Amino acid sequence: MNATSAIARGPLIIVSGPSGSGKTTLIKRLLAMTMRPLRHSVSATTRAPRPGETDGVEYWFWDRPRFEAAIAAGELLEHAVVHGRDYYGTLKSEVEPYRARGFGVILDIDVQGAEQVRAKIPDHVSVFITAADPEDYARRLRSRGADSPAAIARRMETARAELARAGEYRHQIRNDDLETAAAELAAVIDQAFETGVQ
Ligand code: 5GP
């Protein structure tokens, strides 16, 4: 490509995986190691911020009226109620403007949201992250210390339902070892940048 050619549109990378699969840490590791122009889309949610989370960084923390107004106004590419409780959704403004400028955009979204995006945007890459041992999920959630026992039970239930849908994704990565999994994810993303999306 030379300086006068148009910028190639960046790939859209959908990453799903149960709470406790280490998905968030894995994406952070990937973003730290990659040479690619990549952006983690900041979702909107009605769940309360955890200690240390900042509005506009991890999420846009909205109340329900604000979220429902965004749905009505067509501002969201997808949205879902996750863990039977809170709204989560991807803002259109977090995706297309960046792709048009050549950025790869990573969506860390649940299986319901992924299904909606797959149907709307054919040129996507989809990756499902698992941990080797489902018991790891519970251990990681407990050690994070951010969720009540009831919230952990809800998250475990979602995790079981999500794991059953791993086959709907083009790629599956087992996150036994962070560095290995990050390298595998980087390879999938490299391929998407180089050959167009698959
Ligand atoms: P957490 O509350 O632990 O940050 O996220 C809970 C779940 O919501 C995760 O599985 C995450 O992938 C999912 N999630 C985060 N943002 C979105 C979004 O914009 N849309 C959908 N459908 N799911 C999301």
- The CATH number assigned to the domain holding 154 equals 3.40.50.300
- Domain-located, residue 198: no
- The whole-number pLDDT of residue 134 equals 67
| CB of residue 108 inside a 6 A radius of ligand 1 | yes
Q: 5 CA to middle of ligand 1, Å?
A: 37
Tell me whether residue 139 is in a domain: yes
Asked if residue 197 is part of any domain, the answer here is no
Give distance in angstroms: CA of 88 to centre of ligand 1.
6
Mutating to test ligand 1, I would choose from 13, 45, 156 the residue with most ligand atoms within 8 A of its C-beta, which is 45
Per-residue pLDDT 10s for the chain (198 aa) are 445 457 899 999 999 998 778 899 999 999 999 999 999 999 999 999 999 999 999 999 999 999 999 999 999 999 999 987 899 999 999 999 999 999 999 999 999 999 999 999 999 999 999 986 767 777 877 887 777 888 888 888 888 888 899 999 999 999 989 999 999 999 999 999 998 765
pLDDT of residue 197: 63
**Domain residues for 81?**
3-192
Q: How many domains does the chain have?
A: 1
Residue 145 falls inside a structural domain: yes
Tokens encoding 53:
């989370």
Mutate which of 82, 140, 158 for ligand 1? The one with the most ligand atoms within 8 Å of its CB, which is 82
The Å distance, Cα 3 to ligand 1 centre, comes to 38
Q: Give, for ligand 1, the residue of 79, 108, 140, 156 to mutate: max count of ligand atoms closer than 8 Å to Cβ.
A: 108
Centre of ligand 1 from the C-alpha of residue 131, in Å: 17
